[in-house]
Structure 1
Amino acid sequence: MTGTTQFGACFAFTPLKIYMRFLSLLLLSIIIQQKGFAQQNSNSILYWNKDKKLSWSDYLATPDGESDAAASTTTQLNVEYEFSKDKFSFHIKSFFIKSSSWGRHKTEYILSHEQGHFDIAEIFARKLHKALREYVFNKKNFQNDLKNIYDGIVAAKTAMQDEYDRETNHSINKEKQNEWLIKIAELLQTFEPWVSY
């Protein structure tokens, strides 16, 4: 079981009310080869929601014939920034990409492992929210500052996704899998104050 994660950042700057938007080409894949950036629309993405767990019907891609993985979960973290008169605002989106995610061995146990990957993505969306809320706007360095914040969150998220798969042996180690699901639930609770991003 692997968790493929793609990250993209959308930045919008508004000095003097001029809006510039662009999608960063920063796409980070972990564990399994990158399948390409999917077109996101209401039918191909699923926003993280504590009341809506993943189901196998959410996995729309065809399994990778060159992979022996049981499933692949693709998530993305997008950030939109705005600046106006030295005021800084942002909007974060954490979502599952249906059209890039697939399942080969569709059991509830494997789905639970894949949900763990989506939940880890949500943890880091909340961590990003916290970091951006704590950021003190610096007009001279804000671009580098924000890139460093984002890159740091991405690196930590990637490390945790890798550690999750390594320690659970992609869910094969049931004892470790259970420990990780408890850890993930605790982290979601810890970062609950930053859920509204």
Structure 2
Amino acid sequence: MAQTDSQKYIEWTPSYQLNWNDFAGQPGAGAIGDAGTAVAIKAKPYIEKSKIHYIVHALFDKHKSWYRDKSPSLLAHEQLHFDLAELYARKARKKIIEIALTGETDLKVYNQAVQKILNESNMIDRQYDAETLHGSITKKQQEWKERVDKELIALQSYTDQRVDLK
């Protein structure tokens, strides 16, 4: 990523946990709640030596993420939004590989499959907030944490951000 991107984004890694200093944004006029986490999954295809490749990143946007209140439980809730982004980035990488194994060469097929996963990611993110009441239902928050951790482990072989279609 470009230097300006590194100042704006944090790439998901298993060793890095968000801290309140990462939240550099301000809540918008209609913002509700005590914090807001802006995450994105960027899936970019490119061609190198006449082969298709993808780079799939799970990113935390520092300048769009904000907080009004600080607590360890709220930070853990916001971290799980970031973890969910990585989970769906791994699902996208897996799908790209699965499609490649069929011999597909039409980039539109890959892009449509990735878009479907991104749409699902957005839906799951909203479901997470609804079921945990933005992290305030401790038992539900723990259930989501365990579920996401388990799925991240199950998809551990898809952690490489670069996907080469053979």
Question: TM-score, structure 2 length as denominator?
Answer: 0.87
Q: 1:47 corresponds to which residue? A: 11
Deviations 1:82-102 (A, max 9, x none): 235763221112110101100
Q: Runs (4+) of structure 1 moved beyond 6 Å?
A: none
Structure 2 residue runs of 5 or longer lacking an equivalent are 162-166
CA distance in 1, matches of 2:59, 2:48: 27
More off after superposition, 178-187 vs 81-90:
81-90
Contact 1:40–1:97 (CA<8 Å) still a contact in 2?
no
Cα distance, 1:181 vs. partner? 0.8
Q: 1:124 corresponds to which residue? A: 88
CA distance in 1, matches of 2:6, 2:138: 34
Contact 2:36–2:67 (CA<8 Å) still a contact in 1?
yes
Q: 2:112 corresponds to which residue? A: 148
Deviations 1:50-90 (A, max 9, x none): 11100000000112343221111011111221235763221
Counterpart of 1:106 in 2: which secondary structure? coil
CA distance in 1, matches of 2:104, 2:15: 38
More off after superposition, 120-129 vs 79-88:
79-88
Counterpart of 1:49 in 2: which secondary structure? coil
Deviations 1:150-175 (A, max 9, x none): 11111211121111111111111111
Q: 1:79 corresponds to which residue? A: 43
Q: Which amino acid aligns with 2:135?
A: S
Identity of aligned residues (%): 27
CA distance in 2, matches of 1:63, 1:171: 18
Structure 1 residue runs of 5 or longer lacking an equivalent are 1-38
Aligned length: 157
When you count helix as a share of all residues, which structure comes out higher?
A: 2
Superposition RMSD in Å = 1.8
CA distance in 2, matches of 1:123, 1:176: 18
The structure showing larger relative contact order (alpha-carbon pairs under 8 Å, at least 6 residues apart) is 2
More off after superposition, 78-87 vs 175-184:
78-87
Counterpart of 1:43 in 2: which secondary structure? helix
Q: 1:138 corresponds to which residue? A: 104
Contact 1:70–1:103 (CA<8 Å) still a contact in 2?
yes
CA distance in 2, matches of 1:171, 1:63: 18
Residue 129 of structure 2 is aligned to residue 170 of structure 1 = no
Deviations 1:84-124 (A, max 9, x none): 57632211121101011001111111000000100000001
More off after superposition, 67-76 vs 49-58:
67-76
Contact 2:96–2:114 (CA<8 Å) still a contact in 1?
no
Relative distance call for 1:40 and 1:132 in structure 2 (3 A) is farther
More off after superposition, 106-115 vs 154-163:
154-163
Contact 1:61–1:99 (CA<8 Å) still a contact in 2?
yes
Q: 1:188 corresponds to which residue? A: 152
